[in-house]
Chains A and B, each alone.
Chain A
Amino acid sequence: NAGVTQTPKFQVLKTGQSMTLQCAQDMNHEYMSWYRQDPGMGLRLIHYSVGAGITDQGEVPNGYNVSRSTTEDFPLRLLSAAPSQTSVYFCASSYSFISPNEQFFGPGTRLTVL
């Protein structure tokens, strides 16, 4: 199993550009989430999904869109990048009913917006 994969690993954008961060998992997990981690801080939930076709907003959803057309993939779209979106982005997945249903994290995408 590859686990949770994220692409790209690094990205530099200019203000106003759009892009999609890719996330895929091969563990047949129902739940998937996107987080951002600012320097020296914890993880803040952007969006999450409890299954294909079902998404919901987290703590900091503004400026981001998600969709979940398959169980495996959960892309995160930045609509119009702003310097405040400079951060490290983590994708995570987990089972829904298998305890302890801990989250498995991808390696992260380091995004810089100029």
Chain B
Amino acid sequence: AQKITQTQPGMFVQEKEAVTLDCTYDTSDQSYGLFWYKQPSSGEMIFLIYQGSYDEQNATEGRYSLNFQKARKSANLVISASQLGDSAMYFCAMRSDTNAGKSTFGDGTTLTVKP
């Protein structure tokens, strides 16, 4: 069984500063993918970044980077130079490559960016 844990229900960050959103996961699979999605107050789900379990380098997408520590089973999202538009709920998710039709999501972290 897969499990995603996001321990920070809410986070605050000052505009233009960096913030790290925590995600730990549990799986017995060797090959899997880790994803981060953003959900603004409007409700849509937006894909941000992906990390494969065999990727040796941490994923980066613009201001988003994923701090992947496989031995610790953590996949933290780092947002650099926060903007007011980053205020949203952020979800960490994973899917096993052996059953890729099935994804597991965490409970999310609500990020508020202060001006």
* A contact patch SS: strand
Known: A43-B91, A101-B33, A102-B35. A56 touches B101 (CB 8 A): yes
CB neighbours (8 Å) of B72 from chain A are none
CB neighbours (8 Å) of B47 from chain A are 102-104
* B contact patch SS: strand
Write out, one digit per residue, whether chain B residues 33-56 have a CB within 8 A of any chain A CB (1) or not (0): 101010000011101001010000
Q: Which of A44, A90, A100: most chain B CB closer than 10 A?
A: A100
Stretch at the interface among B13-21, B77-85, B105-113: B105-113
CB neighbours (8 Å) of A44 from chain B are 105
Classify chain B's interface size.
20 to 34
Whether the pair B33, A108 counts as a contact (CB closer than 8 A) is no
A94-114 contacts to B, CB under 8 A, are 96, 99-105, 107-108
Chain A CB within 8 A of B76 CB = no
- Of the residues A45, A49, A105, contact of B44 by C-beta under 8 Å: A105
Whether the pair A102, B50 counts as a contact (CB closer than 8 A) is yes
Classify chain A's interface size.
20 to 34
When chains A and B are docked, how far (Å) is the Cα of A31 from the Cα of B99?
11
Whether the pair A100, B52 counts as a contact (CB closer than 8 A) is yes
Task: Tell me the minimal C-beta distance from B43 to chain A in angstroms.
Answer: 6
- Of the residues B35, B100, B104, contact of A45 by C-beta under 8 Å: B104
When chains A and B are docked, how far (Å) is the Cα of A107 from the Cα of B52?
27
Chain A CB within 8 A of B8 CB = no
Whether the pair A48, B101 counts as a contact (CB closer than 8 A) is yes
Whether the pair A42, B45 counts as a contact (CB closer than 8 A) is no
CB neighbours (8 Å) of A88 from chain B are 43
When chains A and B are docked, how far (Å) is the Cα of A108 from the Cα of B93?
18
Chain B CB within 8 A of A41 CB = yes
Q: Which A residues form the contact surface with B (CB < 8 A)?
A: 31, 33, 35, 41-45, 48-50, 56, 58-59, 88, 90, 92, 96, 99-105, 107-108
A-B contact pairs, 16 of them (CB 8 A): A42-B91, A42-B108, A43-B105, A50-B101, A58-B102, A88-B43, A90-B45, A96-B100, A96-B101, A100-B35, A101-B33, A102-B47, A102-B50, A103-B35, A104-B47, A108-B44
